[in-house]
Amino acid sequence: MLEIKNIYKTFNPGTVNEKAALKGLSLTLEEGDFVTVIGGNGAGKSTMLNAIAGVWPLDQGQIIIDKTDVTSLPEYKRAKFIGRVFQDPMTGTAATMQIDENLALAARRGQKRGLKTNLSKADTEEFKSLLAFLDLGLEERLTSKVGLLSGGQRQALTLLMATIQKPKVLLLDEHTAALDPKTAATVLKATEKIVNKNNLTTLMITHNMKDAITYGNRLVMMNDGKIILDIRGEEKKKLTVEALLHEFEKASGVEFTSDSAILG
Amino acid sequence: MDFLVGLLNAMPGAVAQGIIWGFMAIGVYITFRILDVADLTVDGSFTTGGATCVILTLNGVNMGLALLISFIAGLLAGLVTGLFHTKFGIPAILAGILTQLGLYSINLHIMGWGTKNGSAANLQVSVDRYKLLVAGRYVRDLSLNNPLIVLVIIIPIIIAILYWFFGTEIGASLRATGANDNMARAQGINTDVTKVLGLMISNGIVAFSGALFAQYQGFSDVNMGRGAIVIGLAAVIIAEVVFGKVFRNFSAKLLGCVFGAVIYYIVIQIVLKMGLSTDDLKLLSALVVAVFLALPYWKSKYFSKVGNKGE
């Protein structure tokens, strides 16, 4: 479903701020794979998701989504294939627009937009039932401005927007990191529900090793712009945080440095 | 007493000019508030609209067509700024300044069209000889010639069209671009296209407003748009300060822009009648707009209950 072939990206080349963020990264996701991604700060996790989404052009390599080579497509054209939820709850929604308007915008992802009304009666009914699925009471607040929602509500809404048009690939960039633990758990539950319901091919970055083990059918670990560990199926189910830490040190040669990832 | 009579006499004119500039303010609202871009093209495109309308009228083109072409001229001005911004990567403010500067020459040539040296700084159009839609001369008349009638009819038409447009799929994607362009791109919206489109519509309306204003004053002048952006911003901000709590609906906000411009012109009339020289008017406008733009910032900085005031 998703093929990342030997991609490279260096930021600010030729300056003092030069940073090689991706160094020949390759990864293939089968349809329905739910892959959790872990790794230390600066490992290139977010950069990988941005590369898939097409935020900037690659230096080298190829990205193929469902047999379509998207490497040279701009971000807005790739959006047809991709649903995204960002770390910052502010990023995924338009705060000054209503909940139903945000959903209507997302419902037309990948389609031609014309002079038809953005918000039809039929849409409204569909949005209500979708929001009810989240179980956050948002179905009663369709015409509220999104800016009035809490961070957790905004992330849940963004999740719905990312999946309202079934994406070929769902990219979750630490989408619960900015939330308090209880809200984070709620949003993660909603994520699992939506991913399972639609059998979505998913890449989820998390800073929490426990979550990385609990969710999904496959786990990859990144370090220094590459994938250094890829565990799936039965083997993944047996993983523990300790074992993961040990693997990390073995594969990377350095100690894992994020306390929150270990304790969280 | 003389002061009051004089003021009252000036009121119809102030209201008429206010409404015309109010259309201009709607254009500014589209870029400044909806698209979140400060577009300075308007100083030039306002004049372009006026110049285009006058030259066409003088050459026998009927008024409806002249207004339409003026509107299209504004669309093109916005297109240029939009392309400077999205395809040349020039910051929006600078892109607008460049277009505005270029338009100065173009406006001279528009007004000088068909003359020997091909350029003119101003152009008269007398209501005695041409059929004008809005003529300032009749603004105090109790007749159907009174420009206020036409202007009041145009207000709901413009607002209705914009209300419809911003409710469509394209209109909504334009609003999304202004609200959060990351989100817009993630939802498959080509934000370059929506930005260009927004700038075009805004400048189209501004040029239309300039076309009306040139008729109203009976001439177009290459400097008629100088400081237009400040008047437009003043109207938008006055509307938000005065009507912000009441006018929440989109069409009400657009109407607020018109009211804001009318208030601006009434206030200007009052200070002029109180003895302020017209030479100092622009200075006063600039200061007033600066203060009103600063208000929300000061409010958050000095009047918040908690927070660091030393920052």
Task: Render pLDDT for B251-279 as a digit per residue (tens, 0 to 9).
Answer: 999 999 999 999 999 999 999 888 889 89
Inter-chain touch A79–B168, beta carbons under 8 Å: no
| B190 vs A contacts (CB less than 8 Å) | 74, 76
Task: Render pLDDT for B87-128 as a digit per residue (tens, 0 to 9).
Answer: 999 999 999 999 999 999 999 999 999 888 899 999 999 999
Entry pTM: 0.92
pLDDT at residue B299, rounded to an integer: 83
Is the separation of the CB atoms in B77 and B99 below 8 Å?
Answer: yes
Task: Evaluate if residue B84 carries a pLDDT over 50.
Answer: yes
ipTM of the complex model: 0.89
pLDDT at residue A240, rounded to an integer: 87
Nearest chain A alpha carbon to B187: A109
- Rounded Cα–Cα distance for residues A164 and B287 (Å): 49
Q: Which residues of chain A have pLDDT under 50?
A: 264
pLDDT at residue B311, rounded to an integer: 42
Partner residue facing A114 (CB), from B170, B175, B184: B170
A55 CA to chain B: closest CA distance, Å?
9
pLDDT at residue A256, rounded to an integer: 63
pLDDT at residue B310, rounded to an integer: 46
Percent of chain B with pLDDT over 90: 77
Is any Cβ of chain A less than 8 angstroms from the Cβ of B163? no
Long-range contacts formed by B63-67: CB under 8 A, 24+ apart: B63/B131, B63/B132, B63/B133, B66/B211, B67/B133, B67/B208, B67/B211, B67/B212
Is any Cβ of chain A less than 8 angstroms from the Cβ of B189? yes
CB-count burial class (<10 Å; 0-12, 13-18, 19+) for A213: buried
C-alpha of A73 from chain center: 19
